[in-house]
Amino acid sequence: MTTSQAPADQALEAHAVELLERLVRHDTVNPPGNERAAQEELAADLQEAGFEVTLVGRTEERPNLVARLRGHADGPVLGLLSHVDTVPAKPHEWRHDPWCGEVIDGELWGRGAVDMKSQTAAEVAAGLALAREGWRPARGDLLIISVVDEEVGGTDGAIWICEHHPDLVRCDYLLNEGAGALMPSGDERLYGVCVAEKGVHRFRISTRGTAGHASNPRLGDNALLKLAPLIARLGERQPPYDVTEGPARFLAELGLDPADPEGAVATLRERDPLLALLVEPALGITFAPTMAAGSGSINVIPSDAHVDVDCRTPPGVGEERVRERIAEALGPDGYEVEILERVVGNASPVDTPLMDVLRGWVEREDPGARAVPVVLPAFTDSRTFRAAFPDCVAYGFFPMPNSTLYEVWPRIHAPDERVDVRDVGAAARCYRDVARELLG
């Protein structure tokens, strides 16, 4: 891995870290968000450097930021996307103030340090460095997009701006959150590039019985007892795999056969159990029972009971396949199914000019390492951009050569969130270099 840095790279890292310190010190916990002050600071810096800056939102208190650096000729538009809202933090659970924004032993602490103000800072620092040195795209435009409201669904953020101001944010290529932490696998160093995100088809399983007095259980027909074995089956019988392009390519990159996903997972479990644990959910539909209810009173045998299930679906998989997989797990009878929420996941192609650029950057930055396509079991604002602009190639990539995925993942939405400052610098270099290579 490359360790020495040119003076320009050192300055870029220092600036990105300073931006992150400032961003973390803004309490943008959503709800309510309160993102305006942070967005205005970023807007002022970008405008001073020569970007055309727009602040626009559904409400005045929560503006989205779009900054454009125009090129010399027509060409592709590269968008660098992030969000500045965060989930809550309970200070008493932290070793340091969640909004301190301090560097301690080489790590910057605070809510949003990983998810995802670090990427905001790296993207903005990269754009500012390019603009201040006089660079302009030879072809196309560079967009920096900082949105609000991602943590509770994006209604005021990506969804709103793509619907109401599509021409502001329309782009051909997009880099966002979703992957990039180092994945050690045997002797290899792998960096995931998120090419797709799963959808959700959350559902409710209900059972019916006859109410009765709980003092004599045999007088009623307890719906909760009918539900219990169904919950157990949902935990015991995860559906067969439905492998899509992204995870198929990932398995192939590991030398495993995507046509035999069961065998591939079994091999990976022996070779690298931690990596297998993270990879397997991307291969198909998953069921996670999370909320159950029966009687509203402890002394009444319930006549109905239900369990709500968080169901995540591969890109392109819809309700028909979900219902097939439910029936396979539970059998055909004895319950009712209600789909509570439907969001079909989507994906971008794996083989694109943007992927070529990212692969080349990883190979130069960390000789011997490889960039590989991955699928995120959750979802990000990339899903919204793919849906709004079907030709947009949207990837998640925040390279972290100094932190493994196994170290980073537990810090997201958790106490003691922090990021290695060297990774903030690496990401800023990546976004700067990708913009130069892709746009000229």
Q: Is residue 248 part of a domain?
A: no
DSSP 105: T
Same domain assignment for residues 89 and 176: yes
Same domain assignment for residues 91 and 56: yes
Catalytically annotated residue among 21, 85, 123, 308: 85
pLDDT at res. 421: 98
Contact 29, 88 (CB under 8 A): yes
If you count DSSP H runs as helices and E runs as strands, how many of each does the chain have, helices first? 14, 20
Catalytically annotated residue among 150, 272, 366, 417: 150
Which long-range contacts does 249-257 make (Cβ < 8 Å, 24+ apart)?
A: 249/350, 249/372, 249/373, 250/279, 250/282, 250/372, 250/373, 250/374, 250/375, 251/279, 253/190, 253/370, 253/372, 253/373, 254/185, 254/372
Please report, as a single letter, which amino acid is at residue 296: G
* Domain end residue (candidates: 343, 361, 381): 343
pLDDT at res. 186: 87
Q: Is residue 76 part of a domain?
A: yes
Beta bridge mates, 241: 284
Same domain assignment for residues 176 and 288: no
Same domain assignment for residues 435 and 325: no
Q: Is residue 293 part of a domain?
A: yes
Same domain assignment for residues 377 and 315: no
Q: Is residue 261 part of a domain?
A: no
- With cut-offs at 50, 70 and 90, classify the pLDDT of residue 2: very low
| Mean pLDDT along residues 359-364 | 98
| Mean pLDDT along residues 366-375 | 97
pLDDT at res. 4: 63
Beta bridge mates, 189: 184
Same domain assignment for residues 157 and 16: yes
Q: What is the DSSP string of 51-96?
A: -EEEEE-SSTTS-EEEEEEE-SS---EEEEEEE--B----GGG-SS
Total tally of structural domains belonging to the chain = 2
Q: Is 381 an active-site residue? A: no
pLDDT at res. 378: 86
Same domain assignment for residues 173 and 158: yes
Same domain assignment for residues 43 and 82: yes
How does pLDDT run across 308-348, given as a tens digit for each residue? 999 999 999 999 999 999 999 999 999 999 999 999 999 99
Q: What is the DSSP string of 131-149?
A: HHTT---SSSEEEEEEES-
Name the burial class of residue 100, with classes exposed (0-12), middle (13-18) and buried (19+) by CB atoms within 10 angstroms of its CB.
Answer: middle
Please report, rounded to a whole number, the percentage of residues in the chain having pLDDT higher than 90: 95
CATH number at residue 222: 3.30.70.360
pLDDT at res. 3: 52
**Average confidence score pLDDT of the chain:** 96
Asked if residue 130 has pLDDT above 90, the reply is yes
Beta bridge mates, 104: 107
Contact 172, 78 (CB under 8 A): yes
| Mean pLDDT along residues 350-354 | 98
Q: Which residues contact 219 (CB under 8 A, 6 or more apart)?
A: 212, 213, 301
Contact 58, 156 (CB under 8 A): yes
Across 3-12, 219-228, 234-243, least confident range: 3-12
Q: Is 150 an active-site residue? A: yes
CA 155 remoteness from chain centre: 16
* Domain span at 221: 199-242+284-343
pLDDT at res. 238: 85
Instruction: Find the DSSP H helices in 258-397.
Output: 261-271, 273-279, 319-330, 353-365, 382-388
Same domain assignment for residues 25 and 139: yes
Write down the residue that tokens 């694109």 correspond to. Answer: 352
- Give the number of residues written for the chain: 440
Q: Is residue 106 part of a domain?
A: yes
Q: How far, CA to CA in Å, does 322 sit from each of 27, 228, 363?
A: 39, 21, 39
Q: What is the pTM of this model?
A: 0.93
Same domain assignment for residues 299 and 386: no
* Domain end residue (candidates: 343, 366, 383): 343
Q: Is residue 249 part of a domain?
A: no
d(CA 142, CA 157): 20
d(CA 160, CA 166): 9
SS3 of the chain: helix, strand, coil, percent, to 5: 40, 25, 35
Same domain assignment for residues 320 and 351: no
d(CA 225, CA 401): 51
CATH number at residue 157: 3.40.630.10
Same domain assignment for residues 51 and 179: yes
Q: Is residue 238 part of a domain?
A: yes
Q: Is residue 219 part of a domain?
A: yes
More confident residue, 316 or 2: 316
